[in-house]
């Protein structure tokens, strides 16, 4: 992976390494994600990608994958909400990659993973982040490249979590069963 700049002493700009994906970038002083799984620079890159999704790319299908992949790659287990979030977003990746579900159906189903908001054990060990980062998605040249990179990066994140795929599939099945009972049409 390419890193910005050389090895020489950075004049004033300190570098940061994202705890979630390993992205090396000039340290920013902005916020990180709600569960403290990212560096400020990485979170800023994610928000730029989201802005492109809602703006010039007109909310493409790959948007759901991008959100699910980002939150999965930057997993933390610091609060009950953080622990649920990792699992919910991994279920999203499963539904897309292994069940071929569309974004709208995935969005509806993710609310059925933990409707009771119960606490869950941390999904450990967290795997290495995989070879790709959101910065690579952000560097896409056009909408087609954006979709291609977003999908490839999301698949690399899903693959990295292979040791936990069984648990994620079973959560998805439970959510699907609840969705059937909910009877929404
Ligand atoms: Zn990151």
**pLDDT per position as a tens digit, 97-129:** 999 999 999 999 999 999 999 999 999 999 998
For residues 33 and 125, give the distance between their C-alpha atoms in angstroms, rounded to a whole number: 21
pLDDT of residue 39: 95
Burial of 105 (0-12, 13-18, 19+ CB in 10 A): middle
Predicted confidence (pLDDT) per residue in 35-84, tens digit: 999 999 999 999 999 999 999 999 999 999 999 999 999 999 999 999 99
Bridge partners of 15, per DSSP, are 26
Cα 149 to averaged position of ligand 1 atoms, centre (Å): 16
**In angstroms, what is the span from residue 184 Cα to ligand 1's centroid?**
36
Domain ranges of the chain: 15-182
Q: Which two tokens stand for residue 54?
A: 């809602």
Q: Of 145, 137, 16, 142, whose CA–CA distance to 67 is shortest?
A: 137
**Rounded to the nearest whole angstrom, what is the distance from the C-alpha of residue 138 to the centroid of ligand 1?**
12
**Residue 20 CA, ligand 1 centroid: distance in Å:** 5
Ligand 1 centre and the CA of 80: distance in Å? 21
79 C-alpha to center of ligand 1: Å? 19
Give the DSSP H or E segment for 148: helix 143-160
Task: Spell out the residues 6+ positions from residue 126 whose beta carbon is closer than 8 angstroms to its own.
Answer: 75
CA of 32 to the centre of ligand 1 (A): 10
Ligand 1 centroid from CA 183, angstroms? 38
Element (H, E) at 108: helix 103-110
**pLDDT recorded at residue 180:** 79
> Does pLDDT of 184 surpass 50?
no
pLDDT score for 1: 46
Q: Measure CA 131 to chain center.
A: 14
Please state the rounded mean pLDDT for residues 152-167: 97
How far, in Å, is the centroid of ligand 1 from the Cα of 33? 10
- The whole model's pTM is what? 0.89
What is the whole-number distance in angstroms between the Cα of residue 126 and the centre of ligand 1? 14
What local confidence, expressed as pLDDT, does residue 185 receive? 44
- The whole-number pLDDT of residue 2 equals 45
């Amino acid at each position: 992976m390419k890193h910005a700049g050389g090895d020489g002493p950075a004049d004033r700009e300190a570098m940061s390494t994202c705890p979630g994906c390993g992205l090396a970038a000039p340290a920013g002083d902005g916020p990180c994600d709600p569960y403290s799984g990212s560096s400020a620079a990485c979170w800023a890159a994610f928000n730029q990608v989201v802005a492109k999704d809602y703006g010039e790319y007109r909310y493409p299908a790959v948007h759901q994958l991008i959100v699910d992949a980002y939150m999965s790659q930057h997993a933390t287990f610091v609060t009950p909400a953080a622990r649920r979030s990792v699992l919910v977003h991994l279920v999203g990746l499963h539904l897309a990659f292994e069940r071929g579900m569309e974004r709208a159906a995935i969005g509806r189903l993710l609310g059925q993973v933990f409707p009771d908001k119960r606490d869950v054990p941390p999904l450990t060990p967290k795997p290495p982040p995989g070879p790709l980062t959101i910065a690579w998605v952000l560097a896409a040249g056009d909408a087609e490249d954006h979709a291609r990179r977003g999908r490839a990066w999301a698949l690399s994140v899903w693959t990295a979590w292979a040791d936990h795929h069984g648990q994620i599939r079973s959560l998805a099945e439970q959510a699907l069963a609840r969705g059937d009972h909910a009877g929404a049409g």
